[in-house]
Amino acid sequence: MIETFGRLLNTYSRFTKMIEVTAIGGYSEVGKNMTAVKIDNEVIILDMGFNLPKLIDFEEEGGNRENLTTKGLIDLGAIPNDTFIESWKDKVKAIVIGHCHLDHLGAVPFLARHYNAPIIGTPYTIEVLRNELKNDNISLKNELRVVNPNSKVRISSKLEIELIHITHSTLQTALIAIHSPYGTILYANDFKLDNDPILGKKPDYARLKKLGNENVLCLITESLYAHQEGKTPSENVAKQMLKDVFFGTANESNAIFATTFASHIARLKSIYEFGNQLGRQVVFLGKSMHKYIKSAEHLNLVKFPDAEIYGFARQVKKKLKDIEKDGRSDYLVICTGGQGEPESVLNKIVTGRLDFELMPNDHVIFSNRTIPATINIANRNAIEAKLLKKRVSIFRDIHTSGHSYKQDLRDMITMIKPKHIIPAHGPQEMQGHLAELTTPMGYEVGKNFHFMKDGKKINLV
C-alpha cells in the first residue's frame, strides 16, 4: 500500500509543473537586486547586488566596513537576505548576473559561496567581477562561466539560459531568459531601448519579437522610471549635451573636471574624445575608474590611447600635484565623485584631503544624475554647496538615463507579450506606476500583475 502511494506521488510530481519566484532583494528598495526562480526542483538565482547607500550611512556614522561579516552586511541591509531561500540552497543550478553594476553583482563575493553553482555572465560582467574579487583578495569556489551576448547555455535537461543583448549604461548588459518546458521567464532588470548607442549594437529587436511568440510565461522588469513619460533619450543625446558644454563655453584657461558613473564606458569615451579635441591631456582618477576601464580595455571593447589612468591613492595625489605644476588648463580630469561620495576623488579635492585647489570659474561637469537615495542626495548637495562657495562653474545633469521610461517599458511588454508581469527594482510606489501603465494592456493586479516585496514568494503555475 505504501509503495503504491509512493509510486502515485512520484507520477503526480512528474506531471505537475511548478514555478515559484522569490523576491530576495530590490523589491522593497532601490538596489541589492536578487531574485530566485524555482522550476520544479531546480533553482536559478538572478543577480546578487549591493545597496551602497546603506554602507555609506554606516561608515558616516563611524563604522568600518572591513569589520562587517556577511551576516553583518545582511543585517545592515547592504546585501540581500538570502535566508529567504534557505530551503532551496541545494537546488540552485546557476547564478546569472545581468550586468556589471554593483547593485546587481556587488553581493556575489559574499553570497555566492552559499551555493554549489556556477556564476554566469557576459565577458565584461565576468571580467569586472574577477577584478572585484582580486582587488578584495576574495577567492570563490564557484566557476565563473562566460557566455557571449545572444548565446545560450544549457543548465540541465529541463533548463536553458539565454543572454539577450540589450542597451543600458554599461557594456554587455543582457536580458536573462530562463527557458523551461513550461515557458520562458524573462528577467529585464535593467535596460533602455537605445537605437543610437555610442558603443555596441542597438537592442536585438528581432530576437525579442521572436521570443514574444514563444510563450513568455513571466516578465520580471525594472520599474525605476515607470512614472516618467516618453521614451528614454539615447546615449547620443548625452554626447551632444557634453559637446555643448565643452565647446560652447569659455574654458581655455580653466581646469576642467568631469565625473560620471565609472562603469559608464560609453560616456567616458565621449568625454575622452572631447578632451582630445580640446587638445588636453586626459587623466582618469579613482579606483573604480581604473577597475572598469581596465576591464573594458583588456577585452578590447574600448581603447583610450594616451590617456593616463590612476587608481591608487598615492598615484592620484602625485598626479594632481603634477597638474598644478604643469598647467591646469592643459588637462581634462575625469574622476569619481558624481554622487558626492565621501571617499571619491572629487570630494577629497573639495574638502581639502587632496592637494589641489579649485579656482573661480574652473569647470566641474556632473555627467550623471543622483541615485535616488537620501544619503546620495545629501552628499551631492554638500559637494555642490562647497563648489559654489569656491565660485566654480557647475554643469549638472549632463546625462541621459540607462533605465526605461514609460514608452520603453510599453514597447518591451508589447514585444514580449508575457502572461504575467512582476515589477522589480524599487518599492511598491515605483511598482505601482508600472501597474498603471499595464492596466490598459490587459494586466490586472493580483491576477497577472504581481506586486512583490523582499521575502515574498509567488507561484506562477
> What's the pLDDT at 56?
75
Whole-angstrom Cα distance, residue 358 to residue 116?
A: 51
107 contacts 134 by C-beta, under 8 angstroms: no
Residue-range domains of the chain with CATH:
12-230+402-459 (3.60.15.10), 235-395 (3.40.50.10710)
pLDDT at 12 over 50: no
> What's the pLDDT at 421?
97
> What's the pLDDT at 428?
87
**For residues 91 and 374, which has the higher predicted lDDT (pLDDT)?**
91
Question: Mapping DSSP to helix (H, G, I), strand (E, B) and coil, where does residue 80 land?
Answer: coil
**For residues 415 and 58, which has the higher predicted lDDT (pLDDT)?**
415
End-to-end CA distance of the chain: 30
> What's the pLDDT at 5?
44
Whole-angstrom Cα distance, residue 139 to residue 279?
A: 43
> What's the pLDDT at 17?
66
Give the H or E element holding residue 104.
helix 102-105
Question: What is the per-residue burial (b if ≥16 Cβ within 10 Å, else e) of 88-100?
Answer: beebbbbbbbbbb
Query: Which three cell numbers mark 41?
Result: 526542483
- The residue behind cell 579613482 is 286
Write out pLDDT tens, residues 208-228. 999 999 999 999 999 999 999
Whole-angstrom Cα distance, residue 9 to residue 356?
A: 73
> What's the pLDDT at 207?
97
Mean pLDDT of the chain: 92
Whole-angstrom Cα distance, residue 408 to residue 232?
A: 7
Question: Mapping DSSP to helix (H, G, I), strand (E, B) and coil, where does residue 211 land?
Answer: helix
Q: pLDDT above 90 covers what percent of the chain? A: 84
Least confident of 65-69, 268-272, 342-346: 65-69
pLDDT at 6 over 80: no
Sequence letter at residue 187: Y
pLDDT at 16 over 70: no
pLDDT at 143 over 60: yes
| SS3 per-residue string spanning 320-348 | HHHHHHHCHHHEEEEECCCCCCCCCHHHH
pTM over 0.95: no
pLDDT at 11 over 70: no
Write out pLDDT tens, residues 65-87. 777 889 999 999 999 999 999 99
User: Beta strands 42-46 and 281-285: pairing type?
Assistant: unpaired
- The residue behind cell 574579487 is 133
Query: Which three cell numbers mark 403?
Result: 533605465
Give the H or E element holding residue 135.
helix 123-135
CA atoms within 13 A on the CB side of 78: 22
Q: What is the CA radius of gyration of the chain?
A: 23
Give the H or E element holding residue 266.
helix 265-277
188 contacts 204 by C-beta, under 8 angstroms: no
410 contacts 380 by C-beta, under 8 angstroms: no
Question: Mapping DSSP to helix (H, G, I), strand (E, B) and coil, where does residue 41 land?
Answer: coil
70 contacts 138 by C-beta, under 8 angstroms: no
Task: Give me the residues paired with residue 121 across strands.
Answer: 146
Whole-angstrom Cα distance, residue 295 to residue 146?
A: 14
Region 388-394 average pLDDT:
95
